[in-house]
Amino acid sequence: MSTTGNKKWYLLAGTLLVTVLGFIADVDGAIGFAERVAGVDKPESSTAAGGTGVAESSLPTTSTSPVTPTAELTGNDSPPRTTSRSGSLSTPTVPAGRSATGWFDLIAYDPVAFGNGHSSVNSISIGTGSTPYPSSIKAYYPSSASNPSNRRTWLVGGHCTQLSVWVGKDASSSSSAGIGRFVVKAEDIEIGSAEAGMSDAPKHIELDITGVSRLTLFDTRAGNDANNAWGSPRVFCTAPPGKAK
């Protein structure tokens, strides 16, 4: 081949090489432009010796939003108990007791001496009366001055000023016979009495017992007589007439 022909070949090859290199550069530039448009950044690698490059997008991120605290529950998953601001626990209110001064039902208190013939009953009707008396005494033993089976004595200790009681025959008795005698004693001395049969209305005994220490209710009854009745015996005192039952 002639020298002129070789020059033409070199010129053609050089032109072709420049064209190819330019095309490659254009393609690479086009790809980089497309990545920038799409928002894709090339990861930067660490340049520390011996280090391994880590993409920033793979690192954990920390949330900047506030964290709401939660209450820790007890083992049974129920909220813990709280107290009032004072720190004290509320306690049930205890009802106040009755006033020391007032009327006291005698049968609610233990006598210090008694016979076998008196029995406490919730209520009793007396003689021809139509109204039953609550918290009363039925006397059903034969009883006399020499054999005082129907009696009770309370240690009122000088705290009482008045006695109130209704007396007569027990209207529910199987017998209607006899006359009962009802006696009130202070320190074993008679201070009041009444007598009543089945055909009588209830009789009211009301006595001043100021300063009395030992108060006794005693009644007499024959063996075949109707039972005797003490209706609602009570005392007005500044302290209870003995130990409560």
Specify the pairing of strand 179-186 against strand 118-124: unpaired
The answer to whether position 83 is within a domain reads: no
The verdict on residue 127 lying in a domain is yes
The structure's pTM equals 0.61
**Which CATH number goes with the domain that contains 113?**
2.60.120.1060
For residues 139 and 64, the model is more confident at 139
Is the confidence at residue 14, as pLDDT, over 60? no
Sign of CA pseudo-dihedral 63, 67, 72, 73: negative
Q: Is residue 106 part of a domain?
A: yes
pLDDT of residue 8: 56
Is residue 42 a part of any domain in this protein? no
**Is 154 within a domain?**
yes
In a domain, 162, yes or no: yes
Q: What is d(CA 75, CA 129) in angstroms, rounded to the nearest whole number?
A: 69
- Structural domain boundaries enclosing 169: 102-237
What pLDDT digit, counting tens, does each position of 56-103 carry? 333 344 443 433 333 333 333 333 333 333 333 233 322 223 558 999
Residue 243 domain-assigned (yes or no): no
In the predicted structure, residue 113 carries a pLDDT above the cut 90: yes
Number of domains in the chain: 1
Tell me the C-alpha distance between 228 and 29, whole Å. 131
Q: How far is 197 from 228, CA to CA, in rounded Å? A: 9
In a domain, 80, yes or no: no
